[in-house]
Amino acid sequence: MTNFIVHIGDGKCGSSAIQAALFDAQAALRDAGIGYYSHHRTSGNFCLGTLVGKSTRGNDAQQRKYALKAIDELKIISKSVDYIVISSESFLSIDPNDIIELLKSIDPAPRQIDVISYVRDPLGMYLSLAQQSIKASYRFPRPDRYIRPIDRYLASWQCHPEVNSLNVRMFDRKHLVEGNAVADFELLLRDLTGKVEIELEHINENTSLSSEQMVVLQDYRSRFCREIEGKSAAGSSRLIEMFTAMNASGLVGSKPALNERAAQLVLKGNVDIISRINHRYRLSINCPKSIEVPSSDTDWSKISSILTPIETDYLHHLKMFIPDFNPSLRRGDFSRVDRSKDKLREMQPGKMYAIERAAEVYWIAESISGLLAPYSAVR
């Protein structure tokens, strides 16, 4: 009989960092009597959702293979440990009955099921979801239609007769242990298992893009990946990797923030939900009691419509690194890139090494894909 600790998300609440820390500590956790398995360091057990009808941004058939492999591995591990940890940010919105059936495919008679969830303020969640959406689409949720019923999701877990405890934590640096999601999760693991020797590396996983990078990415998805809707595309994936690498020394561009109107609409749609969560779980997510927003004909189809500020110079210079926006690159003409580099050096002088290195790796990947002449031959 196995004790299960199920981390259900929410998404954009430090899940990648928690999963990376669990992955890196698998051997030490096993020695402490805690089992964890994932085929990938930062995706956790997201693949398990495909076994209950949840789609992914990638190849669902391949993800199902990973999921079945994970179940088999966890069955074996469960025979030699006291606890099994499962982690997926997608579990929060999945019917708990489906997830518990997955647990029973590992051990038909679980001794105990303890659930951990992190939640965050609606403004931060909406902005993160909008960014996540355009990584696999040119579309994103409109702020005037965005409602995330976290209260209902949590209630379905809390009321389930086979769930022994639901631990709801606020994802906010001021409320997390040491201001870190992994440190906070580590303490919860110790409390739930009684194993004080548990130690996880307090990783910070941050793949956020700047406002301008978000605008360029959405434009790229709209023009060049429009037919690949809701799924990762090779070209946009390489672009995301370049932007993420560029940000190694700090965001290249402006820190994303919602403009006032978008923020008001998000708050209006979620104020009652947050009030219920605060009351039920003794949280302190900041949200006004009520809010009125004047009507408007705003076109919400562009990601720029929800953001402030947007620096148009950054948009132009970032696009010059991309062959689809700057066809002269395919002819081996880097003159426009060089001019943009000079401008970026003036705007953000301390970040040029990361920018140039990220661009070189990107161009090499583009040349391997046949979308750019061999980089070494043209540069």
174: CB partners within 8 A, 6+ apart: none
pLDDT of residue 293: 79
pLDDT of residue 217: 98
pLDDT of residue 377: 53
269: CB partners within 8 A, 6+ apart: 122, 143, 144, 145, 146, 147
Over range 274-285, report the average pLDDT: 94
pLDDT of residue 378: 52
pLDDT of residue 375: 66
Residue range 222-270, pLDDT digits in tens: 999 998 888 889 999 999 999 999 999 899 999 999 999 999 999 999 9
Residue range 82-136, pLDDT digits in tens: 999 999 999 999 999 999 999 999 999 999 999 999 999 999 999 999 999 999 9
Distance CA 155, CA 162 (A): 13
pLDDT of residue 84: 98
Residue range 286-327, pLDDT digits in tens: 878 777 877 778 899 999 999 998 999 999 999 999 999 999
- Which has the closest alpha carbon to 14: 187, 189, 168, 180? 180
Burial of 151 (0-12, 13-18, 19+ CB in 10 A): buried
pLDDT at 339 over 80: yes
pLDDT of residue 206: 65
pLDDT of residue 292: 80
Residue range 174-187, pLDDT digits in tens: 999 999 999 999 99
Share of the chain above pLDDT 90, in %: 84
Over range 159-164, report the average pLDDT: 98
Burial of 127 (0-12, 13-18, 19+ CB in 10 A): buried
**CATH 3.40.50 intervals, the chain:** 3-193
Cα(first)–Cα(last) distance of the chain, in Å? 62
Over range 207-227, report the average pLDDT: 94
pLDDT of residue 296: 79
What are the structure tokens assigned to 283, written together? 């949280």
Residue range 39-61, pLDDT digits in tens: 999 999 999 999 998 888 778 89
Over range 128-157, report the average pLDDT: 96
What are the structure tokens assigned to 285, written together? 């997510």
Architecture of domain 3-193: 3-Layer(aba) Sandwich (3.40)
Averaged pLDDT score across all residues of the chain: 93
CA 123 to chain centre: 15
